[in-house]
């Protein structure tokens, strides 16, 4: 479901110590829809369900790591990042019994408790800019650029709620960014854009156990450059996606997606790459089912490339986006070679 709504449902929770729990009502489907009180999901109308959350430190790759302080992952040595987890009560002998609150197992013993990472997926910009997710899986960043050449960077947590930007050391094209309004965002003057798309490389050093820097490429088409607060609403209407009848038509549709990927990459609209990429992947799976072994090497490559474009498109690093697209292009070439034989 890809609708263009954006709901300002605010999660107004008190500031938490890392080992405290807090209650929240969630939509069972759109889990980003959170409320402090019972209600229904504004998207699908489902009743919100109560969950008990806890904040802790975890590894972006190994989400069972659950510490109450900063540090490094014992498995892969990555910096731990803060993470919101959901508490679950369960009965070891009756795995089918799961509770969101403490209770009793059929044998009369108290239920055991565990915490599981919470899925998040709201990657919608809040200030009309470009929004990326950091490799630590927790922080989200949004960059905006206005006509005067002021670049602003907003920092968010894993549920895309604003956080204090002060502890982040950030450079844009080697210009240090400074906190504004008590850390509401970071700002730097990068010069009014002279041509489009306007492109800026941002290096962010994340607070953590060890220096941990990531690169983000912010690319603004002319329509994206705005005055603050003047974000325009741009409803993207997607044509209905379907798999064509013949193999030739499927290949043609894949080529179409390839052209769209090229365009999105050039214009810096990387968070949208997943749309043509995943459509191309579904087309390719259909082709593979039809043509079998002949295209299976190309298919495997394209499936990987498409998902990598989805993953890296959200993270905004040019090197990674380009290497994923390279794989996509390789698979297209292999597909053409395989079908020429």
Partner 1 sequence: MQTKLVSAVVAVLASGAFTGALAHEGLPSDYNFRDDIRPIFAKHCAGCHRPGGAAPMSLLSYSDAVPWANSVKMQVLGEQMPPWLPVDGVGAFRHTRSLTAAEIDILIDWTIGQTPEGEPLTADELRELEPAATEWAMGTPDLVLKAEADVLIGEDDYELEHCLVLPTGMAQARVASAFEVKPGLATIVRRATISLGDSCEGARPLATWLPGQGSVSLAGGSGQELPAGASVAVELLYVKGWEDEGKRLVDRSELGIRFSDSALAVSALRLSASHTFSESVELLAIYPELDPEEPLRIEVVRPGGDAEAILVIEHFSRQWREKYVLAEPLSLPAGTVLRLSQPVAWIDFIESSATTAE
Number of other residues whose CB lies within 10 A of the CB of residue 120: 18
> What is the per-residue DSSP string for 211-245?
--EEEEEEEE-GGG---TT-PPP-PPPPPPP---S
Q: In Å, how far are 10, 160, 225, 297 from 15, measured between CA atoms?
A: 14, 16, 34, 51
User: Which CB sits closer to partner 1, 190 or 295?
Assistant: 295
Q: Which does 126 bind (CB under 5 to 8 A by kind): ligand HEC, Zn ion, partner 1, none?
A: partner 1
**207 closest CA partner among 239, 168, 241:** 168
Q: Which does 316 bind (CB under 5 to 8 A by kind): ligand HEC, partner 1, Zn ion, none?
A: none
Q: How far apart are CA 97 and CA 74, in angstroms?
A: 31
Q: Is 106 in the site for partner 1 (CB under 8 A)?
A: no
Applying CB under 8 A, the span of 187-195, 196-204, 210-218, 280-288 interacting with partner 1 comes to 280-288
Query: Angle at CA 156, nearest 5°, toward 185 and 43?
Result: 125
- Site of tokens 């990657």: 123
Token output for 311? 């993953």
User: Which CB sits closer to partner 1, 175 or 210?
Assistant: 210
Q: Is 77 in the site for ligand HEC (CB under 6 A)?
A: no
Binding to partner 1 (CB under 8 A) within 210-269 occurs at: 221, 223-224, 229, 231-236, 269
Of 46, 72, 161, 203, which lies in the binding site for partner 1, with binding defined by CB under 8 A?
161
User: Which CB sits closer to Zn ion, 61 or 259?
Assistant: 61
Q: Which does 87 bind (CB under 5 to 8 A by kind): partner 1, Zn ion, ligand HEC, none?
A: none
Q: Which does 299 bind (CB under 5 to 8 A by kind): Zn ion, partner 1, ligand HEC, none?
A: partner 1
User: Which CB sits closer to ligand HEC, 138 or 151?
Assistant: 138
Q: Is 75 in the site for ligand HEC (CB under 6 A)?
A: yes
Task: Round to the nearest angstrom and report the end-to-end CA distance of the chain.
Answer: 39
Q: How far apart are CA 111 and CA 106, in angstroms?
A: 9
Q: Which does 200 bind (CB under 5 to 8 A by kind): partner 1, Zn ion, ligand HEC, none?
A: none
Residues that bind ligand HEC (CB under 6 A): 61, 75-76
């Amino acid at each position: 479901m890809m609708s263009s709504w954006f709901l300002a449902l605010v999660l107004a929770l008190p500031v938490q110590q890392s080992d405290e729990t807090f209650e929240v009502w969630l939509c069972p489907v759109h889990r980003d829809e959170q409320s402090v009180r019972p209600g229904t999901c504004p998207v699908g109308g489902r009743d919100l369900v109560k969950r008990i959350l806890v904040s802790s430190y975890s590894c972006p790759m190994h989400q069972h790591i659950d510490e109450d302080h900063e540090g490094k992952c014992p498995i892969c040595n990555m910096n731990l990042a803060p993470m919101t987890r959901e508490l679950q009560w369960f009965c070891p002998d009756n795995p089918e019994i799961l509770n969101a609150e403490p209770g009793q197992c059929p044998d009369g013993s108290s239920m055991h408790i565990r915490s599981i990472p919470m899925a998040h997926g709201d990657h919608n910009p809040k200030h009309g800019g470009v929004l990326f997710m950091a490799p630590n899986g927790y922080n989200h960043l949004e960059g905006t650029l206005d006509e005067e050449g002021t670049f602003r960077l907003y920092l968010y947590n894993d549920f895309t709620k604003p956080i204090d930007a002060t502890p982040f050391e950030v450079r844009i094209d080697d210009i240090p960014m400074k906190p504004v309004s008590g850390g509401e965002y970071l700002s730097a003057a990068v010069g009014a854009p002279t041509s489009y798309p306007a492109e800026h490389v941002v290096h962010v050093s994340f607070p953590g156990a060890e220096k941990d820097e990531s690169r983000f490429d912010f690319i603004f088409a002319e329509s994206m450059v705005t005055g603050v607060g003047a974000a325009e609403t741009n409803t993207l209407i997607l044509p209905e996606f379907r798999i064509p009848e013949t193999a030739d038509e499927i290949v043609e549709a894949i080529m179409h997606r390839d052209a769209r990927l090229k365009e999105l990459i050039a214009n810096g609209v990387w968070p949208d790459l997943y749309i043509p990429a995943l459509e191309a992947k579904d087309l390719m799976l259909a082709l593979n089912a039809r043509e079998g072994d002949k295209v299976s090497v190309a298919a495997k490559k394209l499936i990987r490339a498409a998902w990598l474009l989805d993953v890296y498109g959200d993270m905004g690093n040019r090197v990674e986006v380009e290497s994923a697209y390279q794989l996509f292009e390789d698979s297209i070439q292999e597909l053409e070679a395989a079908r020429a034989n």
